[in-house]
Structure 1
Amino acid sequence: AARSDDGIRVYLDGALILDNWRDQEAVPARVELYVEAGEHLIQVEYYENGGDAAVSLGWELQGLYPAWKGEYFDNTALSGQPVLVRNDNEISFNWGTNAPDPRLPSNNFGVRWSRSLLLPEGAYRFLARADDGVRVWVGDRLIIDEWHEARADTYEGYIWLDSQPHKVRIEYYDGGGNANVNVWWEQVTRFSGWRGEYYANRNLDGPPHFVRNDDEIDFNWGTGSVGYGLPADSFAVRWTRTTRLQTGTYYFAVQADDGVRLYIDDRLVIDEWHDASGALYDVLVNIKEGQHKLVLEYYDRGAHALVQMAWRLMGTATPTATITPTATVTATATVTQTATATATTAVPPTATFTHTPTATATPTATATATPTATATATATATVTEAPSEEPTLAATEPSSPEPDDSDE
């Protein structure tokens, strides 16, 4: 434990274990880590910038559980006093149909593991595989809650951690049959789809609540919660990705309950940052071939939570349809036919999104011929693409039906 006014850095055997190299009041800082018995080199660096000057450093042995403190109970509710308490180096057990210890039953037992965990600042994913129930807390956040019978199912939870120690608690029970449990974690650094940053406020303020990879933006949470300790209302998300696009005019559409903003290469192209009940917004954007950065920001105030996004490259096909009507002989030779049908593809999609980023739209035109003479007439329908103007950003209100859910 260290306290300093102003900056301090602490090294143990040449490794930096505490880094508060900044102007600050004399606030305490703690680090917990496992150290082998023996001689160790401790190095402290300190600076004073102005005002009061203070520095202190101390340490203490934390107890008999350098890894996980495992408390084993003879019931599934983890009630009463544990039958066994021991240090477990890791949570990776496959007891099968046996008991973890002769003092415990082979079925209907529970375990609580706890420890302090110090990790580099960043986004983390915790994973648990259990037969049967498992719960994971990081700090005061319940990020995995699967307290039910299962057959070695795998669950995941997400959280953003700062560089301070965090208490982690794992609870597990076996209801019968095979008993196994594994818990591990990993830092989230690669995003194959969207980098989703989830915030416990509507303004995207402060560090994110958690960060994860989202393959697509297609969520209808209703009145429920996203999970991982995020509130069901008054939250926000920022999705970011870089993707390669062809040259052409692209149609972008977003449906949201409530507010949404879309940026393309840091240019704001959809700005609807207000409460709404599943409204659909769209825009046409001319894009040159290459890598392009897409950012979608979204917030939910309350009640239903919905956000979907899709885009497509506008097509350039001009198909023709040829119709040969059936001949009919009458006294009056009158021919009535629909000669030319024109269709434009700049039509907003319905609320059902198809996530095909580089798909080319192929419009279909239908021509109808109704002759009443002895003749063989041929009608030709021509489909013309909507004019592509130099970069025009024009959002249009959809003609599709309003969604069923709404915020009241």
Structure 2
Amino acid sequence: MSTSSLHCVASAAIAWMLAAATAAAVEDGTGLLAAYGSGTVIGMPSVTRVDPTIDFDWAYGGPGDGLPADRFWAEWQGLVEAPISGVYQFRTTSDDGVMLWVDDQLLIAHWNDHSPTVDSGSIELRAGERYRVRFRFYENGGGAVARLSWQPPGLQAEVIPQRYLHPIPQRTSVFPAGLGSGLSATYFSRHDFTGDAIDRVDAGVALDSVSVPPIHPTGSGADGLSVIWTGEISAPLAGDISIGIVSAGSALVWIDDRMIIDAWRSHGMSSASTRIAFAAGERHRITIRYCAHGVPPACALWWAADGLAPEIVPSSRLFPKNDVAVALACDAGETTLVDPTWIEGTIAGSGVSVSASIDGVPTTPALRGSRWHLDTSAAGPIGVDLGSDGAARIVVTAVRGETTRTFVRDVRWQTLLLDNPPYGIESLVIRVGDRIRVGIGADAGDQRIDLDGHPLASWQPGSTAVLSWTLPGIHRIRGLIDGTDIGGVNVQVVDVDMREPIACQVDYTRLKDLSTPGDDAGVITFTSATDDLLVGTIARNGASARLTLTPIASGHPLLQARIGRAGPLIAEREIDEFLLDCSADRSLAIIETFPDGSLRGEALLRMAPLVPGLDVRMWIFVSGVTFGDSTTAYTVGTDAFALEPSGSGRHRFELIRASGVSHGFCHDHVVHQAGVQISH
């Protein structure tokens, strides 16, 4: 896609969403930019206008301009100005769904069908300042009410007057140009990042059905589309910049390996954005994953500084990944307080092979996407065992074609001297089985090391002691000379139990409880080894953590538990991902017609790949239909499925429909693992 056509390929829907992202208008105090459309999913508007206030009671009618009386949506955006300082209570009156953001904070979320209802949320505002406001609403049926009120501190509640509602001003200046040429793009013929693939460099992210490469051999596009854009983005100005994605489908955005936008599982046209602090001229790694299934493809990456109009990020500020050279980096330092030590790094460039040696002995790095780590520990914590010498020479080499990159690092196991610890070391977090070596550097006085208030019998003055724990907990180590405390360190020992299997249907958000003993301070982080798994909220409760997990691509995503965001790996486990299909969702094979007119049909459950130990629970939700055993509920374990050579599994079951019943064989099914639902 050429630079000149970059802005042409953005569809009308993308153009609208970019405009709505910053709510442009021409003067102050005129109200909020409003968009209306048919249906209950925010998407492409059919009507746009400026509404002075949000104070509508349409009763059983609609907003006019050709919109229906039922099943329509509306969205208002702009700025609200605070007349006095203090805590404001914002109130919405709605029938049906409503969501309200003020200053990019979600204050009200009542997104379901309901009769006229008042909801409220509070936020502190400063006099004379203007704050972003966004009000989303949908009407499904019956009466329709949408009203936005507030109660300023010390005043009566009222519908927010027009004089306090402002559009966002825009200046005519633009971002300075850069020297980039676009992003590397890989297009897949399926929505799950599999199938046929085409690589190219896109001048920017402004995708619609016209700019999609010929990825579908038949041209049908029945399996959807998915795209991965990678490379670097160069900051145009110093300061906070809004950056967002507009898409029909699902999209994720990472900058410097940190997810900044999660618009996965979106339906219809939607926009999501955040604010990033940039330094002018700096380059940052960027990855965008997008998929469309059942909707025409549309995806655009935009940005805007305060007071500037939003624009699709231009090619001059985007840089494709370097596929020719090989980049290699290692995060390990030259000294470590813990054995085994954690050696991890990154590679960049496609088709790169990585090899390593430790003290001249070859070892194979473990590759996880663009990251690698070394593991020579036969048992216990993952890492490089420094052995009795307490030192090792690490050599890692990356090769692509005739290009080679190598680094050499000598790593030494450092003794933790309690009277002279490394700067800033007051506490350590280690894994069960990790070893630390402690001692006292001074050679005078009556010396003693205490562990948890008791003398450490294994230590003698002038020597060192190696400490390791088999159970999680918090321990205090301190040194004494002539009875005086000379310093010490707290050691937090943590662990994660991932031994139980984890299964999940592709694209389904499920809960998983993991045991995290010793993690009282919340130092353990959970993430994916690559970008094929979303780890959502983490609710901690003592020695356990409840995670929300969403696999986003076919395969076996790796869930990882680490100390901190980039610390040593505690444990990792593959998630057994599957797709479940039931033939009765589309058609049913009639195998017998009874004299009374009732029918017996056969349906097929197919799981790909087959995951053992799961339960598929099915139930009938209409009258006149039963399963083959005349019940309305049926459970089958996946261990009873027939295994196919492809690794999939299938199970046949029967349904019976009574005479005179006109509807289909209506039933539903979900999959459970140890009593937890793990499928749609």
Q: Structure 2-normalised TM-score?
A: 0.19
Larger relative contact order (CA 8 Å, sep ≥ 6): 1
Point out the structure with the larger strand share: 2
| TM-score, normalised by the number of residues in structure 1 | 0.31
